[in-house]
């Protein structure tokens, strides 16, 4: 680990006044990456004690402040009742120890698990712009089907972000100049030619809250995660779905996938295919096929296309009560 300075701040204005430095809360990603020397911040600004931990999850509105712990959000009965996809995505993330430390804002800011990004001995455009990408030609079982390019094919790691995309969530971003709300789907950037820039946060800007609107769709939502073991593992493929049914017909639907995109991946074509259709297995299978539009499999992750398709079917079938 490289040497660094550490400052703790006790108020939001003090945090926003910090002119340079890397924000530090639960530390579950940052410390790990600092030990690997993948990240070498010169200054940490500890915001862990700021009073931003409120969780509000009424049937109408979800608002989670950024420093709420993953474990606390997952344990909230209101979240589980009104926004089950959020609680499920959190409970299927990491391990109990990490969920006790990690914050919601930090979860959304976590870095990719790409082994080339995480190994300083390997080239990686995200870590060292211009150094190349080891995954494109190398081991890429865990890499992205969607949103990648020659510069980077690393997947976004957060389960929560996938669930929140399925809820059309927005983030409140706060800086010394004030606050703005940004749809989560627009918060993350595609790697393009500069994969080191992952989101629209301005320097010194902080995520302060996550917001979403409730309703029947949010209440009938589900997160399905496929991974290499039952706990403490990232998604090979995951699907978040929110389904509004009326008289056996799909009134509205949101579908998002994890483990397959360079950012949480909204399956828009599958959604449109399903809207207005009967909630039957055949309709779900038809929509699931559309979820593969735009997929660009690599040498080692071709299995994910069919796995995604089957996981979309599985998720919709469970939500729609058909088998």
Q: Which of 35, 26, 28 is closest to 4 using CA atoms?
A: 35
State the nearest-atom distance from the C-beta of 230 to another protein, in Å: 4
DSSP-assigned states of every residue in 185-208? HHHB---TT-TT--B-PPTT-EEE
**Interface segment toward another protein; rule CB under 8 A; list 67-75, 168-176, 221-229, 254-262:** 221-229
State which H helix or E strand residue 70 sits in.
helix 70-75
State yes or no: residue 28 binds another protein (CB under 8 A). Answer: no
Sequence-ordered list of residues with C-beta below 8 angstroms from that of 76, at least 6 positions apart, any chain: 55, 57, 87
Token pair listed for 308: 């995604």
**Interface segment toward another protein; rule CB under 8 A; list 41-49, 167-175, 231-239, 271-279:** 231-239
Contact call for residues 105 and 187 (beta carbons, < 8 A)? no
**Interface segment toward another protein; rule CB under 8 A; list 195-203, 227-235, 249-257, 271-279:** 227-235
Sheet holding 265-266, edge to edge: 221-226, 237-246, 249-258, 265-266
State yes or no: residue 323 binds another protein (CB under 8 A). Answer: yes
State the nearest-atom distance from the C-beta of 289 to another protein, in Å: 14
- How many residues make contact with another protein (CB under 8 A)? 24
State yes or no: residue 49 binds another protein (CB under 8 A). Answer: no
State the nearest-atom distance from the C-beta of 125 to another protein, in Å: 18
State the nearest-atom distance from the C-beta of 144 to another protein, in Å: 16
Token pair listed for 16: 């926003």
State yes or no: residue 229 binds another protein (CB under 8 A). Answer: yes
Sites of contact with another protein (CB under 8 A): 95, 113, 115, 138-139, 141, 226, 228-233, 236-237, 303, 306-307, 310-311, 313-314, 317, 323
């Amino acid at each position: 680990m490289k040497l660094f300075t550490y400052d703790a701040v006790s108020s939001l204005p003090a945090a926003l006044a910090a002119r340079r430095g890397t924000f530090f809360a639960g530390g579950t990603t940052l410390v790990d990456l600092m030990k690997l020397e993948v990240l070498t911040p010169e200054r940490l600004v500890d915001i862990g004690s700021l009073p931003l931990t409120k969780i509000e999850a009424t049937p109408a509105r979800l608002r989670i402040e950024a420093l709420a712990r993953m474990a606390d959000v997952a344990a909230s009965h209101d979240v589980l009742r009104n926004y089950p996809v959020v609680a499920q995505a959190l409970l299927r993330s990491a391990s109990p120890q990490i969920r006790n430390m990690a914050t919601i804002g930090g979860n959304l800011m976590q870095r990719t698990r790409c082994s080339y990004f995480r190994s300083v001995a390997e080239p990686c455009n995200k870590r060292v712009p211009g150094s190349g990408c080891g995954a494109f030609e190398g081991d890429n079982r865990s890499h992205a089907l969607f949103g990648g390019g020659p510069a980077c094919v690393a997947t976004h790691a957060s389960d929560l972000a996938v669930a929140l995309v399925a809820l059309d969530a927005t983030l409140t971003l706060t800086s010394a100049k004030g606050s703005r709300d940004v749809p989560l789907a627009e918060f993350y950037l595609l790697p393009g030619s500069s994969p080191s820039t992952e989101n629209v946060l301005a320097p010194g800007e902080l995520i302060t809250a996550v917001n979403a609107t409730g309703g029947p769709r949010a209440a009938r939502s589900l997160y399905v995660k496929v991974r290499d073991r039952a706990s403490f593992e990232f998604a090979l493929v995951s699907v978040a779905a929110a389904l509004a049914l009326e008289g056996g017909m799909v009134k509205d639907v949101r579908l998002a996938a994890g483990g397959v995109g360079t950012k949480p991946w909204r399956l828009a074509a599958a959604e449109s295919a399903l809207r207005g259709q009967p909630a039957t297995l055949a309709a779900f299978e038809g929509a699931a096929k559309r979820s593969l539009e735009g997929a660009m499999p690599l040498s080692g992750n071709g299995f994910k296309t069919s796995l995604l398709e089957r996981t979309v079917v599985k998720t919709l079938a469970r939500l729609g009560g058909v088998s």
